[in-house]
Amino acid sequence: MTTTAAPPPGKKVNRIGLELVEYKGGKTTLCAGCGHNAISERIVEAFYEMGIEPERVVKLSGIGCSSKSPAYFLGRSHGFNSVHGRMPSVGTGAILANRQLLAIGVSGDGDTGAIGIGQFVHLMRRNLPIVYIIEDNGCYGLTKGQFSPTADLGSRLKTGVVNDLPPIDTCALAIELGATFVARSFSGDKKQLLSILKAAVSHGGTSMIDVLSPCVTFNDHEGSTKSYSYVKDHDEPLGEVSFVPYFDDIEVDYEPGTTKEVEMHDGSKLYLKKVAENYDPTHKGAALRLLRETSERGVYATGVLYVERNRPNLVELLNLVDEPLATLPLERVRPPKAALDEIMESLR
Amino acid sequence: MAPSDVAVHESASEQTTRRITNDFSIQVATVNGSGSQTANLVLLRSIFQMGVPVSGKNLFPSNIAGLPTWFTIRANKDGYIGRKKEIDFLVAMNPETAREDVMTLESGAAVLYDEPLRLDALRDDLVFYAAPFDKLVVPVCPNAKLRKLVRNMIYDGMLAKLLDIDLAEMEKALRKQFGKKAKAAELNRGALQAGWDYAEANFTKRDPLRVERMDKTGGMILIEGNAAAAIGCMMAGVTVVGWYPITPSSSLAESLIAYMREHRVDKETGKATFAILQAEDELAALGIVLGAGWAGARAMTATAGPGISLMAEFAGLGYYTELPAVVFDIQRVGPSTGLPTRTAQGDVLSTAVLSHGDTKQVLLIPSSVGEIYQMAMDAFDLAETLQTPVFVMSDLDLGMNTWMSDPFPYPEGPIHRGKRLDRAKLAELGSFGRYRDVDGDGVPYRTIPLDGLPPYFNRGSGHNPDGKYSERPDDYVNNLDRLARKFETAKTHVPKPEVDDDPEAAIGFIAYGTSHWAALESRDQLRKEAGVRTAYLRVRAYPFTDEVKAFVERYHRVYVIEQNRDAQLRALMRIDLAPELMRNVRSVLHYDGLPIDARSITDSVLAQEAGHDGMTTE
């Protein structure tokens, strides 16, 4: 495999011998300063630092600014830019076809909260192994700035139009629906987002991350609750999120009593250094209360909000054979003649 | 005096001298949810076991329990298995419909009815047999709660007596129907016997109908089209299924689940070589199929008209990004919800162009249970060979009704997985571009995730031969022209029509799907009754192959027989054939929700031939 070839001396490489550049994608066509570009950069870093073979990854998306972004990271991975709001079903088919794939789906707040709410709901229920990122700017960028369902009550378009419908909190919804990993972050918070992405990749079920990602063109102004300045002022991190991959033997020094350790599906460890008092990310009720209480204050709680471990994912529930279904040889997928004879006999 | 004696009228009794053997239809009118399906299948199967060709058609309401349902069994010594328009023997068990059912019978028909309905007063030109079913069921079934379910088996016993059906064959059919449920079988056997005994003691045979042993069903099977399709899918090696329940397609997915659990789960590990997922809607069902097809799996879904409408957007994605998918459309009556439990061929035109923009889809159109089994396998081969969705256009009549067939042959050959890039090919080509027309047939090479070959970005937006995003006019035109070229290539792969030429005929018939059976019978009627000879072409796929044009050229007048209002297949022919050629093409259309019958075709053709343009839209 090319991925294990010895790197040229002096180049910085990850544990499988790849340079950061191997994880990059095409040149972005999004607006300069778009939060989505920052998220793409964190995705590149996360996969690079975790030493994941890009060939194992499939990138999926729906339609919208967010959904263009998979073209801008992991150029050595297969990608599928599907139809508006329907990426979850495409991802479901791909993962069922080949359980060895590592899926990352990028959606937006309209793609998820409006046209795709049905598929989002059922993805959360199914616990398909996929990292599902909502690049959440509260507006439709690609069609020039209309409100999306996550736009906050009272937020204002450049044209002066005020949103008078309540927003959907995708994180609270996901928790209610049975999602097993729910996080919120901010595109400008490099450290937190990177840690969350790594933990999400290690989770092994559906990892849902709502990333507030201000739209610099249509929604980054006074009166927008998803502008850079608003989010920066109203971001309330639950604590410092740290992630230690299972292959990493670095000693971590966290003080007992102030740190919550969560072991991920693959043996990696997620550490949440507490700021919020008594916050337990494995407690569904606490997570929902926190989201409610913070949103009433107009504040975004960020960090890993909820983690449920040990629930079987969809692939495990369906009890699939270990090998990818897509490449099973004919003799394993076509029953023998005796089976057909038996069926025919039963119909005589 | 027995009640039946009261019911017999003078004019009807004259018929006893006439005998009609192995050529009639029986209609059983009941209330759905009353267990009549078991009794009806036992009746059907017992005639089948006596070697007489049969077909069973269930006309049921879109409802769970309490509404009228009719089951029609046709026995025909000549092997005609399409619907027969006239009912020769009515079993009237449903008070709600009994009067109308009796009033619509042809003169001379026989009626077995539940005594309190007093149907004999309605007409004096029918043969009536009355029986007190509620009284008869009491000694047979002490448990009052079960009586409703056992009651119907009594009429089977009576029919056995009246029609000379071997009671032993009925008991055998009953055992088959109940399988391991010995108690239920025994209870029903008692009901069968009670019916037979009552008929022997009380009925005087006054109708001419009877069953006589033949040897025309030896070795054959009875199966519904949806189950046949499911077996075909399993034999094709399907691995991923996304589906959403909708009548009349649900039993395809459910049969498949049952067969796959039995034959595709490792006995030792309990692990499955398939994933079947009930999706949240039809959009998701096709999304799952396309995602799986993109990742290299053989994937399918099954649906009906409303589901096809919902799948339109994804169908375009499949066409434009060139992904394999197999979609079964078990057509029902509609626009909108329509008549969900009635049959039609109403999705042919819209599915052929399913999705917005310039889209053309490949259709396979089976006529029989044996053919849908084969076409299920063909569909997967074609979908991967052509890298496009393939729609198998079945209908409720084929999918949910019971048909005889020769047993299905085991597929001996390999499966065709299409143009997958490999290292040798990559070395030969030098580099990979997902949509390059390397071979000139419009079909490009593809790679799948984790195959160790170059990746690509599958996008429904504009793309160039390398699969890169492009809004260039020339890229778009070149790509669309290549897709048109690929559709031409499809013509060399799809099943050709079945043609029965007649050099002496002026008239040609074109039919497809389940209209085939009525068309065959109508050809015989026209020849025997009116001396009109016909040639025949049965369309089996879209795109049409050259045979269709050649057939239209060969005959003076061509009748396209279909089960929809708008002459949909003829409309597709208009796209391909010259207008002057289409001037000779007429229509026979049938769209009342019941399966098309031969008599309607014959009447329409004769009327049009005589210049009465009754049924055509011309």
Boundary-marking domain end, from B440, B475, B491: B491
| Chain B: closest CA distance from residue A190 (Å) | 27
3-state secondary structure B184-197: HHHHHHHHHHHHHH
- Does residue B171 lie within any of the structural domains? yes
**Contact B234/A335, CB-based, under 8 Å?**
yes
Rounded-to-integer distance, Cα B306 and Cα B246, Å:
9
Boundary-marking domain end, from B377, B405, B433: B405
| Chain B: closest CA distance from residue A200 (Å) | 21
Q: What is the pLDDT of residue B420?
A: 98
Rounded-to-integer distance, Cα B420 and Cα B108, Å:
65
| Chain B: closest CA distance from residue A129 (Å) | 14
- Does residue B485 lie within any of the structural domains? yes
- Does residue B412 lie within any of the structural domains? no
Which residues of chain B register pLDDT less than 50? 1-13, 15, 614-618
Q: What is each CA distance from B410 to A346, B403, B418, B532, in whole angstroms?
A: 16, 19, 22, 40
Mutate which: A100, A340, A341, vs B, most B CBs within 10 A: A340
Claim to verify: residue B487 and residue B505 sit in the same structural domain: no
Domains of chain A, earliest start first: 2-346 (3.40.50.970)
- Does residue B57 lie within any of the structural domains? yes
- Chain B CB contacts of A347 below 8 Å: 221-223, 407
| Chain A: closest CA distance from residue B117 (Å) | 37
Q: What is the pLDDT of residue B542?
A: 98
The H-or-E segment that residue B535 falls in is strand B534-539
CATH number at residue B310: 3.40.50.970
Claim to verify: residue B18 and residue B137 sit in the same structural domain: yes
**Contact A320/B275, CB-based, under 8 Å?**
yes
Claim to verify: residue B275 and residue B251 sit in the same structural domain: yes
Instruction: Tell the residue number behind the tokens 């590149």, with chain if given.
Output: A44
Claim to verify: residue B75 and residue B194 sit in the same structural domain: yes
Q: By the 8 A CB rule, do A210 and A184 touch?
A: yes
**Contact A344/B408, CB-based, under 8 Å?**
yes
* Chain B residue with minimum CA distance to A345: B221
- Chain A CB contacts of B467 below 8 Å: none
| Chain A: closest CA distance from residue B167 (Å) | 18
Contacts of A10-17 with C-beta under 8 Å, sequence gap 24+, read: A14/A48, A14/A49, A14/A50, A14/A51, A15/A51, A15/A247, A16/A51, A16/A52, A16/A53
Which residues of chain A register pLDDT less than 50? 1-2, 250
Boundary-marking domain end, from B188, B210, B232: B210
- Does residue B618 lie within any of the structural domains? no
Claim to verify: residue B478 and residue B561 sit in the same structural domain: no
Cα torsion angle, A217, A221, A223, A224, sign: positive
Claim to verify: residue B79 and residue B150 sit in the same structural domain: yes
A-to-B residue pairs, Cβ atoms closer than 8 angstroms? 212
Q: How would you classify residue A198: left for phi > 0, otherwise alpha for psi between -120 and 50, otherwise beta? A: alpha
- Chain B CB contacts of A343 below 8 Å: 231, 259
CATH number at residue B182: 3.40.920.10
- Does residue B293 lie within any of the structural domains? yes
ipTM metric: 0.94
Claim to verify: residue B475 and residue B604 sit in the same structural domain: no
Q: What is the pLDDT of residue A240?
A: 81
Claim to verify: residue B280 and residue B327 sit in the same structural domain: yes
Burial B204-223 (b: 16+ CB within 10 A, else e): ebbbbbbbeebebbeebbbb
- Does residue B413 lie within any of the structural domains? no
CB atoms within 10 A of CB B461: 12
Q: Which of A13, A66, A9 is nearest to A43 (CA)?
A: A66
Q: What is the pLDDT of residue B345?
A: 98
- Does residue B414 lie within any of the structural domains? no
**Contact A334/B455, CB-based, under 8 Å?**
no
Q: What is the pLDDT of residue B61?
A: 87
Q: What is the pLDDT of residue A5?
A: 56
CB atoms within 10 A of CB B182: 10
Rounded-to-integer distance, Cα B123 and Cα A153, Å:
73
- Chain B CB contacts of A95 below 8 Å: 291, 295
| Chain B: closest CA distance from residue A80 (Å) | 5
Question: Of the candidates B259, B291, B460, which has its C-beta nearest A89's C-beta?
Answer: B291
Q: What is the pLDDT of residue B460?
A: 97
Mutate which: A334, A345, A346, vs B, most B CBs within 10 A: A334
Q: What is the pLDDT of residue B32?
A: 83
Cα torsion angle, B91, B94, B99, B103, sign: negative
Q: What's the one-letter identity of residue B488?
A: E
Claim to verify: residue B162 and residue B256 sit in the same structural domain: no
**Contact B295/A58, CB-based, under 8 Å?**
yes
pLDDT in tens, A267-314: 888 777 766 667 888 999 999 999 999 888 888 899 999 999 889 999
In B551-594, DSSP assigns E strands to: 557-562, 585-589
Mutate which: B290, B374, B417, vs A, most A CBs within 10 A: B290
Round to the nearest angstrom and report the end-to-end CA distance of chain B.
Answer: 60
Q: Which of B30, B429, B45 is nearest to B221 (CA)?
A: B45
Claim to verify: residue B195 and residue B253 sit in the same structural domain: no
* Chain A residue with minimum CA distance to B416: A330
Sheet holding A235-237, edge to edge: A235-237, A300-307, A181-186, A206-212, A130-136, A102-108, A57-61, A78-81, B457-459
**Contact B231/A324, CB-based, under 8 Å?**
no
| Chain A: closest CA distance from residue B224 (Å) | 10
Mapping DSSP to helix (H, G, I), strand (E, B) and coil, where does residue A162 land? strand
Mapping DSSP to helix (H, G, I), strand (E, B) and coil, where does residue B52 land? coil
Q: What is the pLDDT of residue A231?
A: 84
Question: Of the candidates A90, A322, A347, which has its C-beta nearest B291's C-beta?
Answer: A90
Domain that holds residue B459: 423-491
Domain count, chain B: 4
> Which tokens hold the place of B238?
């399907």
Question: Of the candidates A82, A95, A328, which has its C-beta nearest B460's C-beta?
Answer: A82
Claim to verify: residue B87 and residue B103 sit in the same structural domain: yes
Q: What is the pLDDT of residue A277?
A: 62
Claim to verify: residue B507 and residue B593 sit in the same structural domain: yes
